[in-house]
Amino acid sequence: MLSVNRPSFHEDMMRLERLPTEDEVRRVRHLVLQELDSGTVVTDDELAAVFSKCPHLETVILSAIPATTDRSIVLLAANAGNLQGIDLSGCHQVTDVAVFELAAKSLPLQWIQLNGVVGLTDPSITALAKTCSRLTVMELCDLPLLSVLSVRDIFTFSRKLRTLRLARCPLLTDKAFPAVSVSRSATPVVYPQGYEKPLPPRPVSWLDELPPLSLRHTADNLRILDLSFIGGLTDAAIEGIVSHAPKIQHLRLSGCKLLTDRSLESICKLGHHLDVLMLAHVSNITDSGVVKLARACTNLRCVDVGFCRNLTDMSVFCLAELRGIRRLSLVRVHKLTDIAVFALAEHAVDLERLNLSYCDRLTLEATHLLLRRLVRLQNLSATGIPSFTRKGVHRFADPAPADYDADQQAAYHVFSGEGVSGLRKFLNKEEERWRESEKRNIPFAARSDDGLDLY
């Protein structure tokens, strides 16, 4: 008798973007509830019923289910013994209880995302760091109660991490991060005879009494680090981080307003490893730091120096010469002139995305040269540049967001895809008409149509 070819058990496993039916609960391996159809509401009771019957789940994403509670996660941890990844971003009803349960079950977790789970505190994060030794991704953004204690434990115990995100955690300071090791054989300070050493200042809190985090190992696996908008971060922390994790490729420091050129000098030590650097709103950096950075980190392909108002054309000259640069943001760098745009047109011929919004000194003529040279450009943002308000240009821009008022919509100029090509062709035709009018000694007048005729 011939056997019927049937798929094996593992071939029959499935990935679902909805809750499984009764027939599917034992076959679902990846449950992705990231985007639900409009009108679809999933309750915590429904989740709990599903998790109690799904023993083979490996990946669970619940970022579209803010109603998720500890009960569902406890049931998931108890039944899914092979759980390797979980995303609870935005599940604000989840607390330390659920995270403790995930840590206690010795699950083979490799990645966990807890962004915006506002009730989490240090003990649960420390438990994850100490017990889940396979973790390669931890995302802990927007956690208002996260302090330096648990982050120190992450750097101490989670030695396989490749991605760590800690953006917008307001309690973090330099004490959370590795410090540069100081030699113990330093020469002791000798005070003159009769000198009375002053008493040390009284610490503001017990956190100030923590010693610097000195680690003997290095985080050679760490590739992505996001520390955006951590207000207490200083140059000393960046120096320690770079010393501890010398192979970072993607570094986000946007909104760290205390950083200076000293941080950029530390980042230079990452050399050819670094390819993405976000420095928006780091307003204390200057051309000197950016020039050193561009010369040391030659493989940079994505740079954001928006709102860094001390920068000038000199910074753009050096960034334009990076052979791999693909994305560049220069929002509100007010000192930029057309000379910077000419440098981009001359050297950064492989640029794909460029943001020049609110650089109000730039002219349409310089942008036209840029468009002619950068044939791979897919997105150009020129919002708030006065020269783009002339007639004929706005029709190539993407639609402005619906919540913008009339003035914001008039200033909105973001060109993408066909809009970039259309603007390039329009300006080419206008230049052709201008040359023809000069040739025939006819007054030139800007128009909004694409015609080549002079009248």
Q: Provide the pLDDT for residue 203.
A: 64
Q: How many domains does one find in the chain? A: 1
SS3 115: coil
Nearest to 17 by CA among 63, 56, 52: 63
Q: In sequence order, what E strands does 307-436 have?
A: 327-329, 353-355, 379-381, 414-416
Length of the chain: 455
Whether this prediction's pTM lies above 0.85 is answered by yes
Residue 451: inside a domain: no
Residue 374: inside a domain: no
Strands 379-381 and 414-416, sheet pairing: antiparallel
- Helix (H) or strand (E) run with residue 277 in it: strand 276-278
Residue 46: inside a domain: yes
Residue 350: inside a domain: no
Residue 80: inside a domain: yes
| For the chain, counts of helices (H) and of strands (E) | 13, 15
Nearest to 394 by CA among 404, 382, 377, 402: 382
Q: In sequence order, what E strands does 132-186 have?
A: 137-139, 163-165
Residue 59: inside a domain: yes
- Helix (H) or strand (E) run with residue 250 in it: strand 250-252
- Helix (H) or strand (E) run with residue 61 in it: strand 59-61
User: In this structure, what CATH number is given to the domain that contains residue 48?
Assistant: 3.80.10.10
Q: Provide the pLDDT for residue 426.
A: 87
Strands 59-61 and 276-278, sheet pairing: unpaired
Residue 61: inside a domain: yes
Structure tokens, 223? 């590739």
- Supply the range of the domain harboring residue 39: 12-131
Digitized pLDDT (tens) for each residue of the chain, 455 residues in all? 444 444 444 556 788 888 888 888 889 999 999 988 777 888 999 999 999 999 999 999 999 999 999 999 999 999 999 999 999 999 999 999 999 999 999 899 999 999 999 999 999 999 999 999 999 999 999 999 999 999 999 999 999 999 999 999 999 999 999 998 754 444 566 666 666 667 676 667 777 788 899 999 999 999 999 999 999 999 999 999 999 999 999 999 999 999 999 999 999 999 999 999 999 999 999 999 999 999 999 999 999 999 999 999 999 999 999 999 999 999 999 999 999 999 999 999 999 999 999 999 999 999 999 999 999 999 999 999 999 988 888 899 999 998 999 889 889 999 999 999 999 998 888 877 777 777 777 776 676 666 666 55
Residue 77: inside a domain: yes
